[in-house]
């Protein structure tokens, strides 16, 4: 997510606040609608039947939408069915466009479109799996859908890429929402409940004292990479020293969410970066029941490995590609031609073609387009 994209930043700020105030989900959806020119949006848990594990917040949809969808249409949603059938937009962080999940001609033939989607003002879809529910204790399957009414231009692949870039902070806010919600029901913020959040989270006092760190947060502090503690107080966040941390906490005490892009202590800005968010805790927040001195939650989103790179690693291992063949496959997926790859690596095109033939022999493919499709890159 580009730090200059204020539309996305506003959505992240609202989502961070929704972790402790459910009314803020509507603010997040409104910010996403504004950023992506959507006419409506919702965040919901499509398969959760338990009331205490269900979430359905909408923005810009008619009042009948929620009960109609939950009670009847959710099991007949062609976009959800298409996602499962085509293996698109089914895992955490993945996004999909309506036409990828269900062809327009097929959609127009369904009762779902004529009796529900079109009357509701829904046609174009940009969907995200915020959490696939693979760790039920952290969050149930949760989906965000952005919609455009009939007659408007469909969402683009660029919209999809931008939406994917904001997934990590949205998932972190969602998991914090469920953990703090359960804590509120029990009357206190249990350490065990915060520990189910797989990403680093710390509860801070106004002076920077770490009142509690979940398991991931304690592990991060022990590494002394992205954060540093002295005598129980937070004295460093990435490149930010104790004075900068204290100044940020002063802003938090005024109710202002603070977001910092971090790089490792002693490294330059070109290295991998993390994101730290200091979220103000309101008076009635569950954390303040357990820790009365708490003023902020510190959420740290560490650098994530590129999912495309992980997929290419699995392909290379599965088909036993050599390092040279793996480099060529990566380059082709990134859009380089054989000649460009040869020039970049100082080898002949003939040698590159030999590598390509070896890749085809090992994978059973016969075209570069098939290799790109195997890597999961959508055609534009």
Digit-coded pLDDT (tens) for 102-116: 887 888 888 888 888
pLDDT band at 379 (very low <50, low <70, confident <90, very high): very low
pLDDT of residue 233: 94
Mean pLDDT of 43-64: 81
- Sign of the four-CA dihedral 90, 94, 100, 106: positive
Tell me: pLDDT of 2 over 70: no
CB neighbours of residue 187 within 10 Å: 10
Q: What are phi and psi of 302, to 5 degrees?
A: -75, 160
The single-letter DSSP state of residue 37 is T
More confident residue, 354 or 270: 354
Mean pLDDT of 206-235: 91
Task: Look up the pTM and report it.
Answer: 0.55
More confident residue, 188 or 140: 140
145 touches 96 (CB < 8 A)? no
More confident residue, 88 or 16: 16
Ordered domains of the chain (ranges, CATH): 6-172 (3.30.450.40), 189-301 (3.30.450.20), 307-374 (1.10.10.10)
pLDDT band at 95 (very low <50, low <70, confident <90, very high): very high
pLDDT of residue 187: 41
Instruction: Quote the mean pLDDT of the chain.
Output: 84
32 touches 11 (CB < 8 A)? yes
Mean pLDDT of 38-45: 92
DSSP tally for the chain: helices H, then strands E: 19, 12
């Amino acid at each position: 997510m580009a730090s200059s994209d204020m539309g996305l930043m506003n959505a992240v700020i609202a989502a961070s606040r929704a972790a402790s105030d459910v009314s803020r989900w509507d603010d997040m959806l409104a910010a996403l609608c504004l950023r992506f020119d959507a006419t409506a949006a919702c965040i919901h848990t499509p398969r959760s039947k338990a009331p205490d594990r269900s979430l359905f917040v909408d923005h810009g949809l008619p009042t009948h939408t929620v009960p109609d969808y939950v009670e009847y249409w959710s099991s007949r949603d062609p976009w959800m069915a298409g996602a499962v059938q085509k293996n698109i937009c089914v895992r955490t962080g993945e996004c999909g466009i309506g036409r990828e999940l269900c062809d327009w001609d097929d959609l127009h033939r369904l009762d779902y479109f004529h009796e529900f989607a079109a009357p509701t003002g829904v046609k174009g879809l940009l969907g995200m799996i915020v959490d696939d529910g693979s760790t039920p204790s952290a969050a149930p399957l949760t989906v965000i859908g952005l919609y455009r009414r009939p007659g408007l231009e469909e969402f683009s692949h660029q919209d999809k890429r931008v939406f994917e870039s904001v997934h990590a902070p949205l998932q972190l806010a969602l998991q914090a929402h469920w953990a703090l919600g359960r804590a509120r029901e029990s009357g206190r913020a249990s350490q065990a409940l915060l520990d189910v959040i797989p990403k680093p989270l710390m509860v801070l006092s106004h002076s920077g004292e770490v009142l509690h760190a979940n398991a991931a947060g304690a592990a991060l502090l022990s590494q002394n990479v992205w954060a540093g503690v002295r005598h129980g107080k937070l004295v460093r966040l990435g490149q930010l020293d104790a004075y900068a941390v204290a100044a940020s906490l002063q802003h938090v005490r005024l109710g202002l969410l603070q977001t910092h892009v971090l790089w490792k202590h002693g490294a330059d800005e070109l290295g991998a970066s993390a994101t730290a968010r200091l979220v103000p805790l309101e008076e009635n927040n569950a954390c303040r029941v357990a820790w009365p001195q708490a003023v902020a939650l510190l959420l740290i989103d560490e650098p994530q490995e590129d999912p495309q790179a992980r997929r290419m690693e699995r392909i290379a291992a599965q088909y036993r590609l050599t390092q040279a063949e793996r480099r060529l496959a990566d380059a082709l997926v990134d859009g380089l031609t054989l000649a460009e790859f040869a020039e970049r690596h100082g080898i002949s095109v003939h040698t590159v073609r030999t590598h390509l033939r070896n890749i085809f022999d090992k994978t059973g493919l016969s075209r570069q387009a098939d290799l790109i499709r195997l890597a999961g890159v959508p055609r534009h």
